[in-house]
Amino acid sequence: MHRLTNQVRPYAWGARTAIPRLLGLEPDGTPQAELWLGAHHGAPSTVHCEEGPLPLPELIAGDPARVLGEEVADRFGDRLPFLLKVLAADEPLSLQVHPDAERARSGFAAEERRGIPIDASHRNYRDPHHKPELLLALEPCEALCGFREPAAAHRDLLDLSCELAELLREDLSHHDDGVALRSALTRLLTLSGEERERLIGEFVADWDRVRPLCAHADIVGELAARYPGDPGAVASLLLNRVTLWPGQALFLPAGNLHAYLRGTAVEVMAGSDNVLRAGLTRKHVDPAELLDVVDFAVLPVPYSQPSFQNGRREFRPGAPEFALHEIGPGRVTAHLPGEGPAVVLALNGRVELIPEVGHRIELQRGESVFVQADSGPIKVEGQGHVVAATVGAPTAD
């Protein structure tokens, strides 16, 4: 086991205090949006070895079979397939979707052939991997997640008289839900220039005048105020509005259109940074690519339910790259699964990690470790609250 030093991403939507409080640091007034724990090239963690500090990707590359385990190395090569994050949002994130594995591979290869630099602002695919993700709320979290029934969005528009509301009602009246949702979202994302500014402005003014009695009543105006003229504010009406309470989790597979609005949570995902944005952002938006990736099916809110294993709550939503384990809060005696590597983070309290092989390590709030596969099963004891990311189970061929 190796202690970790991790990087914080200062995105503009980030909270000012949640991550510094976790790490025992004084807030400096700047947004601290995400704490990354893993080997992703965008912000890799540093492991502290007897020889000194070393980037985690270098530790893995030195002996993948020993560090990751032979089975994981056979499946994923010399890379850690998951990334663990702490997310702290004071403002909405972009409305976004992630590609499936095939689309990620082909999209990355196509942009490589075109010679688009990896860090180019207009690049869609920064790596050849998909990015399913699971979000576990630590505090109340609000999100927009997946499409709701078109008829529900249609009802919310009935009292609006502006031109865009009339057009969207026509789109949403189609008897096929998928066609109705695709038509409405396509219309919003393909509005251009002055027409977009006019139609979105008229819609927001009309919405504020009518104030429909619905779950989205306040969110349209809030999003429009933050991103004037952005069609994502209106597109929010097409999605489920979800509140997660501490301990609740969402699993977001490829194609699920979503946006986190506010809250503090733990995220675990496949080790990728591929994001296609639909709005609520000043970053690059590629409507044609996004519309080809979005899943327009109306499905239940994708809550992820845990099982209970050896003193821990275990989330295994079916992604081969990751599983998430929660231990505590409170007095705990638990065991982490013994297969493959793990990243362990103490959210509160004080616990000991006791490996089958090697020295035990004490973790306090905000501290983390990387557990090599050759450490064997890990016992967790103490008074605290701990999360751990591990590799998921192989999928059936």
Q: Which residues are catalytic?
A: 277
Distance CA 200, CA 183 (A): 17
Contact 356, 375 (CB under 8 A): yes
Contacts of residue 226, Cβ cutoff 8 Å, sequence gap at least 6: 91, 92, 280
Distance CA 255, CA 292 (A): 9
Q: Is the dihedral of CA 256, 258, 264, 267 positive or negative?
A: positive
DSSP run (H or E) holding 277? strand 276-279
Contact 165, 209 (CB under 8 A): no
Distance CA 376, CA 394 (A): 19
Pairing type for strands 312-315 and 307-309 reads antiparallel
The token pair at 30 is 């700047």
Contact 365, 96 (CB under 8 A): no
Q: Nearest 5°: CA angle at 361, between 359 and 64? A: 70
Contact 133, 318 (CB under 8 A): no
